[in-house]
Amino acid sequence: MSSLAENLRDLPELLSWHLLLSLCALTTAATLTLILAIAADRSEKIKRIALDLAGTVQTIPSLALLAMMVPLLGGAIGFAPAYAALTLYGVLPMLQNTITGLDSIDGSLIEAARGLGMSERQILRRVRFPLAFPVIIAGLRTATIWVVGLTTLATAVGASGLGTYIFTGLQTRNNGMMLFGCFFAAALAIVLDQALGLLERALRNRHRGAARAIAFWFGAAALLAVFTAWEPTFESEREGPAASLPPADESANPAAPRRPLQGLALTTGSKPFIESYIQAELLALELENAGASVDNRPNMGSTILFDALRSNAVDCYVDYSGTIWATIMKREEPASRIVTLLEVAGYLLREHGIVTVGPLGYQNDYSFAMRRGHAARLGIRSIADLTDRNLKIAGDPEVFGRPEWRRVREAYDLESLSTVGMQKIYMFDAVMNDQVDAIVAYSTDGRITLYDLLLLDDPKQVFPPYDAILLVSPQAAENAALIDVLANLVNRVDETLIRDANRAVDVDGETPEAAAAFLWGQLRSPIAPPIASPDGGE
């Protein structure tokens, strides 16, 4: 079980990154705002353009803005794209308030200032800025709350932060973890907001000492965050991943040949769902066992992760052949399992220099699932039996927008089905309570065996096969030792194993790390034979 203690263990690092990312973005946004506001003060045209631009940025959904930054920054993931997007987001509330504040100064005061012999610059600095200060700070406080909140989304582009708790907690049905993340994100926003409020009051009332004290605490918190955020990195560089190795391995043979990746620092990542978390942890275990240190970026967007691999920002991760086939290669027609695998591997190498080390050994396909009794009553065994039926089918909202769904609907003439989009974690409850007749599930979902659901046949093979495939970035693929190590995982995980691992997290509340450790233990036990390759032969 992932407990409060486990959440607390990661808190210093994740909170520090969250604070640093927010503070860096806010400081840059404030500087940008100041420059823009001064420029806008000199020209109505600049003012209009600056406000329009900032407003336009605000209309872009925050997640999209974050995702856009990855290709814009040449495929970089982590701090940089998150920082860029959050900075842009912070500018609008600050710029609006600054411009409004500067423009709303009583005209007679400006008249007096001019009459006393102040230059326009002196009026701006000595009269308008100080008088607009409360309004400017109000904008900064709004921006602070926005940015600290949005930083939780930065995990989607691979940046560390409290969002890791929220996304992972949501996907693994761990409400405690999710609330833990929400609580600290909210607390951080409130503390920063209140501190700015105190700073503003201290400056307005000329309590120089109090203002200095607050500024000091801001600096101290930022400095502490820098050290806390970087410390784990220092540690892993110093000690290597030895600490995470099972003790048996230590005694067996500590000699060099068993640690072919000693000293290598690698990055992997996962998408926001349980099986992807487990895959990333499994990779990390195998790589760390070979001596590498692994930086795992969870909860990244699907195409963001692929872009990061292509641009060498991520070294390796597990994707699905059918996903590459449909979303990256934009192929419409389904093909057999082996043809899909070969074409995908060829395409990735040819077009992107990405090396496909091989399949993990299982498929995670889209499948129609129903309660066995319900299906028997209706006489349904395959998707073909759904034709012209007035039934309700649920799936995650993404499914019904994918080209695969359009094809399956046309192939089996499923116009009469009504679809309900819902988060994956609610689908199973819906089908078990007969709120819907069927769901579009993933064949390796742990809940299929838990609830003993019937997976409907796909006689026309409309859904492409989704083999879990191990991908390595162009740069990392030059390291033959790395490929050798990763090859240990090829064709070793079958549907039963992955389903058990998924179920351990989804149903039993284990952490993805624990499930991956279980899986890895199974692979290393000498009794477990390599499973058969997709086409039946070795």
Partner 1 sequence: MSEVAITGFAKSFDGGESFALEGIDLVVNDGEILVLLGSSGSGKTTLLRAINGLIQPDAGRVTVGGDDIATLDATALRRTIGYVIQGAALFPHMTVAENVGIVPNLREWPPERTAARVDELLQLVQLEPDDYRDRMPAELSGGQAQRVGVARALAAEPCMMLMDEPFGALDPVTRVQLQDEFKNLQRSLSLTTVLVTHDMTEALLLADRIAILASGDVAQIGTPAEILNRPASAYIEELLTTPRRQAAELKGLFTS
Interacting residues with partner 1 (CB under 8 A): 106, 108-109, 111-119, 122, 127, 130-131, 204
Residue whose CB is less far from partner 1, 108 or 251: 108
As measured in angstroms, the least distance from the Cβ of 112 to partner 1 is 4
- Each as own residue / partner, the long-range contacts of residues 58-63 (CB below 8 Å, 24 or more positions apart, any chain) are 58/89, 58/92, 62/89, 62/150, 62/153, 63/153, 63/156, 63/301
As measured in angstroms, the least distance from the Cβ of 195 to partner 1 is 22
Tokens representing residue 501 in the block: 């691992």
Residue whose CB is less far from partner 1, 112 or 190: 112
As measured in angstroms, the least distance from the Cβ of 207 to partner 1 is 14
Residue whose CB is less far from partner 1, 117 or 247: 117
As measured in angstroms, the least distance from the Cβ of 115 to partner 1 is 4
What end-to-end distance do the CA atoms of the chain give, in Å?
38
**Sign of the torsion angle spanned by Cα atoms 121, 127, 129, 130:** positive
- Alpha-carbon distance of 127 to 404, in angstroms, equals 63
Residue whose CB is less far from partner 1, 209 or 536: 209
Residue whose CB is less far from partner 1, 122 or 533: 122
- Alpha-carbon distance of 489 to 428, in angstroms, equals 30
Are 517 and 285 in contact by the 8 Å Cβ rule? The answer is yes
As measured in angstroms, the least distance from the Cβ of 109 to partner 1 is 5
As measured in angstroms, the least distance from the Cβ of 117 to partner 1 is 4
As measured in angstroms, the least distance from the Cβ of 264 to partner 1 is 59
> Can you tell me whether residue 237 is helix, strand or coil?
helix
Residue whose CB is less far from partner 1, 116 or 527: 116
Query: How buried is residue 193: exposed, middle or buried, by Cβ count under 10 Å (0-12/13-18/19+)?
Result: middle
Residue whose CB is less far from partner 1, 103 or 106: 106
Query: How buried is residue 474: exposed, middle or buried, by Cβ count under 10 Å (0-12/13-18/19+)?
Result: middle
Are 225 and 188 in contact by the 8 Å Cβ rule? The answer is no
> Can you tell me whether residue 159 is helix, strand or coil?
coil
As measured in angstroms, the least distance from the Cβ of 137 to partner 1 is 14
Residue 355 DSSP code: E
Q: Backbone phi, then psi, for 388, in 5-degree steps? A: 60, 20
Residue whose CB is less far from partner 1, 49 or 131: 131
> Can you tell me whether residue 455 is helix, strand or coil?
strand
